[in-house]
Amino acid sequence: MRARRKQLFKGILISVCCSAFLIMAGNGQKWTVPIGAQVSQIVPIGKLPVNFMFGAYYNIEKPDNGPDWSLRFQIALLFPK
What pLDDT score does 1 carry?
Answer: 47
Q: Among 52, 54, 49, 53, which Cα is nearest to 78's?
A: 49
Strand partners, 43: 50
> Using CA atoms, how far apart are residues 70 and 30, in angstroms rounded to an integer?
17
CATH number of the 2-77 domain: 2.20.200
pTM: 0.70
What pLDDT score does 26 carry?
Answer: 62
Q: Among 56, 52, 45, 47, which Cα is nearest to 11's?
A: 52
What pLDDT score does 18 carry?
Answer: 73
Q: Which alpha helices (H) appear in 16-76, and where do they start and end?
A: none
Tens of pLDDT, residue by residue, the chain (81 residues): 455 555 556 678 878 877 777 766 666 667 888 899 999 998 899 989 999 999 999 998 888 888 899 999 999 999 988
What pLDDT score does 28 carry?
Answer: 67
